[in-house]
Amino acid sequence: MNGFISALTIVRSFRSCLLAGLAVSVATVGGAETLNFPSNATLQLEELNALDSYAVPIGIWSDGVLPIENAEGKLTKQAWRIDAQALTTLQLLRPLREQLRNDRYRIIFECQTEACGGFDFRFETVALPPPEMQINIGDFRFLSARRFGDDGPEYITLFISRTAQAGYVQVIHVGSASEDTLPVSAASGPALRAAEGQGDISLRAQLDDVGRAVLADLSFETGSSRLSDIRFLSLEALADYLNEFPDRKVALVGHTDASGSLDVNIALSKRRAGAVLERLVAEYGISRAQLEAEGMGYLSPIATNLTEDGREENRRVEVIITSTVE
């Protein structure tokens, strides 16, 4: 039990460091919104319009319809790239969302990938073009927020996704047409770093010290066992570890949130572990003799199931060293 608690402490400490590095301060300057990104974030593209309109998504795409709320005013569109690996879209979104709330914004809509409407939502929603803004169809999050000032409503939306190399954040802001100052985003916060070897060192340390680790950059939606096609640093680190120690055998253990029955969740969690196993075999050449897949359902949570963030953390796959290969 002490080893298990230590492993969770290491993982949570790692996540806390990432979130601290990505901390976003939101301040009101002459009615304008300021987002302070990490210093290793780069503004890829910015479009400014003194007076324009924007169809703000306020619901999921369903039956051929995307619910919107029309906003008019000064329109700013920005695409930011954060050069850091092994971040989940939740880790990118969470500090931004909290700072918006602290600055009197009300979150009016939030969704993730398939829960947004998947492919259809992506292409019904305003998005800046690649390569400045990259949106992974299999892994994105969207948020709409609104607040009211003396000159009426003010809107901001965030479109967040990631590739193997970086995180991407699209910011669209609609403010009062009477404002003299357009929204400004700066990159002066602490640098967010997840260097090539960082994930490997973290996972190796956990496996060597306590014999288990969470594959922290994997992401599973409610009811889904599909892994996106992007590169996961945790899997690369695990593959390197297993190649270096071919006599070691590991169990991949899937976990879910508490949505649904126990039997259904155990089956789902085992499929998730199986998806990781197949990726390790197919893409990294790991021997099946070193791997097994099991599922625990919702019986071993690491966070509360009462919030979406907690449920997101509980949807995970852990790796546990079980024995040496005979």
Q: How much is the mean pLDDT over the chain? A: 82
Note the pLDDT of residue 286: 96
- Average pLDDT of the residues in 252-270: 93
Note the pLDDT of residue 184: 54
Note the pLDDT of residue 222: 61
Closest to 24 measured CA to CA, from 147, 167, 154 = 167
Architecture of domain 29-189: 3-Layer(aba) Sandwich (3.40)
- Give me the phi and psi of 294, to 5 degrees please: -135, 165
d(C-alpha 315, C-alpha 13), whole Å: 18
Note the pLDDT of residue 32: 43
Closest to 43 measured CA to CA, from 92, 77, 91 = 77
d(C-alpha 65, C-alpha 250), whole Å: 46
Token code pair at residue 268 = 């789902």
pLDDT confidence of 20, banded at 50, 70, 90? Answer: very low
231 vs 72, higher pLDDT:
72
- Average pLDDT of the residues in 51-69: 95
d(C-alpha 86, C-alpha 104), whole Å: 31
Class for domain 2-13+195-324, per CATH?
alpha beta
Per domain, the residue ranges of the chain are 2-13+195-324, 29-189
Per-residue pLDDT of 271-315, as tens digits, reads 999 999 999 999 999 999 999 999 999 998 888 888 887 888 888
pLDDT confidence of 250, banded at 50, 70, 90? Answer: very high
pLDDT of residue 197 exceeding 70, the answer is no
- Distances 179 to 75, 100, 154, 174 between C-alpha atoms, Å: 11, 19, 11, 11
Radius of gyration of the chain (CA): 21
Note the pLDDT of residue 162: 83
Burial of 263 (0-12, 13-18, 19+ CB in 10 A): exposed
Token code pair at residue 56 = 């703000």
